[in-house]
Chains A and B, each alone.
Chain A
């Protein structure tokens, strides 16, 4: 099995509005996939579907052999997610947040502590280990949020707009950290920053009004659209339709 994710006609409609419109794509194991699109394109809805947080209106997706419809519990054990809004327990310390997630995914107390310590070092959070999560800066909270997504050793990780609202330096630092994950696990990242997709992804899906308009590597997208930059290609692909 080469593909980590296979999406088949995945569709989600909310009261008349089609947020995700018959998506079809696949992501190889170990690939870094970026879903690029402006606000409201349907990126978060796609992630929520793949994480079994929403039931699709129609279609299905298979994650490492398990269907999100038929076997969500098996799917959930293999993935983890860092949601768009920072999702940490405010009154728990940084380390307690990490241990909590490890335990919820099945680690016992000792294992959870070992994993938490590993994450603290790997993500440069050791100095803040005992501080309550609510006292961290935005960038640090995001970092913690990503660490919480990594601590369960997921085979697939979803990062929904991980650098939204961060300053340039914090963004660069997060990029560095995310880049280090490349090749180790399958990563699906959403962003509306073109340069983020360009800097990080092996494969980019340009999403617009619930549809994927173009899918491929940076070079493939430039070639197919005949444009010199991703930005030009992006505007060309997302300009026309106004609903």
Chain B
């Protein structure tokens, strides 16, 4: 249970330096507000910008900032000798990765909740599907935690934040939240659906619309598969760092 002490420390570290948290929660909400207000005043906007379609996209976008949180936390610890000191302790690699991941899960839940509560004010109907959507977004959050840990294990603290910004951009652009991938089709669609982010948004959209397990299952599998592979890579990269 040593990882619990470490995870408590990470929770404090994240919450006591909350600028990036505020940014990661605030920016998506702002986008949701702006786009929804535009959608109301301009007629003929694409269907993807209706609140039932756009809110799930924003929820995924919001979670993508978690890669930045976990990546920066780890890379900053690596840049100081603090982590070297812990590497001399009996903590195992799994203790570290659990310790970094756990405090981010409640933050992810708050992000999703804030996103959907904002959406309620913009006309999203209140239903149990929203709760289910927040649940199925948990694997998406785990995916982004893993991406951050992988990048934070490989890159320095100066490199991590620009690289994570790229991840956030790629996630948004390939997710289908800004344009309908099925209309574009072709190679672009194929690439987007090879990546996990469009699946993450579809997963959330379908759940929000009340789709059952058979409908979400392929998307869930795709996201979970990516999360598992990326976590495995993160463990490897981190172990390598432990024994330089």
B88 pairs with A51, CB closer than 8 A: yes
Which residue, of B2, B82, B243, B244, has the highest number of chain A Cβ atoms within 10 A? B82
A81 CB to nearest chain B CB (Å): 5
B12 at the interface (CB under 8 A from A): yes
Complex alpha-carbon distance, A52 and B84, angstroms: 11
B9 pairs with A53, CB closer than 8 A: no
Contact of A83 among B5, B6, B84, B242 (CB under 8 A): B84
Identity of the chain A residue whose Cβ is nearest the Cβ of B83 in the assembled complex: A87
B87 at the interface (CB under 8 A from A): yes
B89 at the interface (CB under 8 A from A): yes
B91 at the interface (CB under 8 A from A): yes
Residues of A within 8 A of B88 (CB): 51-53, 76, 79-81
B244 pairs with A89, CB closer than 8 A: no
Q: Which of A95-103, A177-185, A226-234 contacts B (4 or more CB under 8 A)?
A: A95-103
Residues of A within 8 A of B9 (CB): 89, 92, 96, 100
A20 at the interface (CB under 8 A from B): no
B41 at the interface (CB under 8 A from A): no
Complex alpha-carbon distance, A73 and B9, angstroms: 23
B212 at the interface (CB under 8 A from A): no
A89 pairs with B82, CB closer than 8 A: yes
Contact of B86 among A54, A73, A90, A104 (CB under 8 A): A104
Complex alpha-carbon distance, A87 and B81, angstroms: 5
Q: How many A-B residue pairs have CB under 8 A?
A: 76
Complex alpha-carbon distance, A57 and B32, angstroms: 56
Encode A73-87 as 1/0 by CB contact (under 8 A) with B.
100110111111111
A86 pairs with B81, CB closer than 8 A: yes
B182 at the interface (CB under 8 A from A): no
A106 at the interface (CB under 8 A from B): yes
Contact of A92 among B12, B85, B86 (CB under 8 A): B12
B207 CB to nearest chain A CB (Å): 36
B18 CB to nearest chain A CB (Å): 11
Complex alpha-carbon distance, A54 and B242, angstroms: 8
Encode A144-182 as 1/0 by CB contact (under 8 A) with B.
010011001000000000000000000000000000000
A residues with a Cβ closer than 8 A to B are 51-55, 73, 76-77, 79-92, 96, 99-101, 103-106, 112, 132, 145, 148-149, 152
What are 27 A-B contacts defined by CB distance under 8 Å?
A: A52-B88, A53-B87, A53-B242, A53-B244, A73-B90, A76-B89, A80-B88, A82-B85, A85-B80, A87-B81, A87-B84, A89-B9, A90-B80, A91-B12, A92-B13, A96-B12, A99-B5, A100-B5, A100-B6, A101-B89, A103-B4, A104-B2, A104-B5, A104-B86, A104-B89, A112-B5, A132-B16
B residues with a Cβ closer than 8 A to A are 2, 4-6, 8-9, 12-13, 16-17, 80-82, 84-91, 242-244
